Structure formats: C-alpha cells, structure tokens
Structure 1
C-alpha cells in the first residue's frame, strides 16, 4: 500500500506539465511506515523539495513541501512541524518568505496545482 502510494506521487509529478525533472533522494518502505524524499525541477528552474512520512493507512505523520527559486531562496513551504500552536490549523502551516500563515493539510496534487498556477 505504501509502495503504491509512493509510486503514485512520482507518477503524478512526472506527468505534470510544470515538471522538468524528478530526482529521488531517498525512499524507505517498512511494514507499518515509510518515507519518501525527492526533488522536482520545475519549468521555471525553481525546485520543489518533497518529503512525506506515512503510516500503513497512508496518514501523513510528517510532511514538508519546500518550494524555492533558482537562487535557492524560499518561495513557499507547507509543513506540519509542531510549532505555531496559535494557528487553528495547528500543526499545519505555510511559510511565504518571512510570513507564516495557517494552512490546511495539503495534498501533493494540490501543491503541484498551486505551483503550476504561479509559474
């Protein structure tokens, strides 16, 4: 189940017209948990660094979608690091430059769509 989900993530990325290249950094699939880390080069030369750590029911235990420009400067990062408990969406939030905002838990497909609309 985890393996199928990770294959789905890679397939969605490779088929997306905003994506130029996908580089798998690391993937681990255990009996009850797994994680994947990959970097996507986008058509405007920005990069999306993807990390998901999931359990066997595909619940995201931890995630980070870090989008940076070609100069390696942050554009937006969506994550669930357990800080910013003041947000009603805690632990989910996003970083845009120096601004941190509440955010619902995004899916990888939603992230690609949002980025595609901006590049």
Structure 2
C-alpha cells in the first residue's frame, strides 16, 4: 500500500508500542518533487476492536501548501462528521475516517492529475 507510491522514499517510519493494546504509527514519505505525505495514527484495542484515538493523513505539495489532510482533531464542531473531517487547500469538508489505503490511492490520483 504505502510502498506502492512510485518514486517516494521513507524519511521516517516509526511504530511505537506504548502498552499492551496501545500504539502509534508515524510515517513520512518524500517525493522527488519534494511533496510530502505524513501519516500519524494513535490506536488502542478496546474489547478486541481497533479504535483510533487520533489520526492525521497529510499530503502537501512542494511549496508546502496543503493539498489534502484528513484528521479527527476536534477543532471543527460545525462539521456534521465532527470530529472527522477533511482539509483541502481552501475548504474543510465533512468526511469519514479513511483507511491508509484510501489515502494512498487518493494521493496517487492527485499526483497523476498534477503531472497531467
């Protein structure tokens, strides 16, 4: 999934086990054009189910402008899917929590579109 993003390299890959059933994942991928994809998840198992305490999937272009970011920070209570939402370069949208696979696919599509 993440490794399927062509021409990218890992600047950071960190899995951290904090306690039994709780952990963090942090990934930073860089592209040749200096665009960046950052993935951050804090997860816990509750009653055998994986639950996200927090997540952030952030893709920015080479000029450090946000292209898309999904997160569940509770700073947009006006969004109907609060706390889950999606940032684009100029808007905040209602969104469910995407999987890493969905984010990677979206980044691939955005990069393909930008290349024309």
Q: Unmatched 5+ residue regions in structure 1?
A: 1-11
Q: Unmatched 5+ residue regions in structure 2?
A: 112-116
Task: Give the whole-Å Cα distance in 1 for the aligned partners of 2:98 and 2:29.
Answer: 17
Picking from 7, 13, 20, the partner of 1:31 is: 20
Say if 2:79 is the partner of 1:87: yes
Give 1:3's aligned residue: none
Give 2:103's aligned residue: 111
Give 2:114's aligned residue: none
Q: Does structure 1 retain, via aligned residues, the 8 Å contact 2:5–2:104?
A: no
User: Which 4+ runs in 1 deviate beyond 2 A?
Assistant: 23-27, 42-45
Task: Give the whole-Å Cα distance in 2 for the aligned partners of 1:28 and 1:52.
Answer: 10
The alignment's C-alpha RMSD in Å is: 1.7
CA positional deviation for 1:86: 1.8
TM-score using structure 1 length: 0.79
Aligned length: 107
TM-score using structure 2 length: 0.81
CA positional deviation for 1:18: 3.1
Say if 2:10 is the partner of 1:22: yes
Task: Give the whole-Å Cα distance in 1 for the aligned partners of 2:41 and 2:57.
Answer: 9
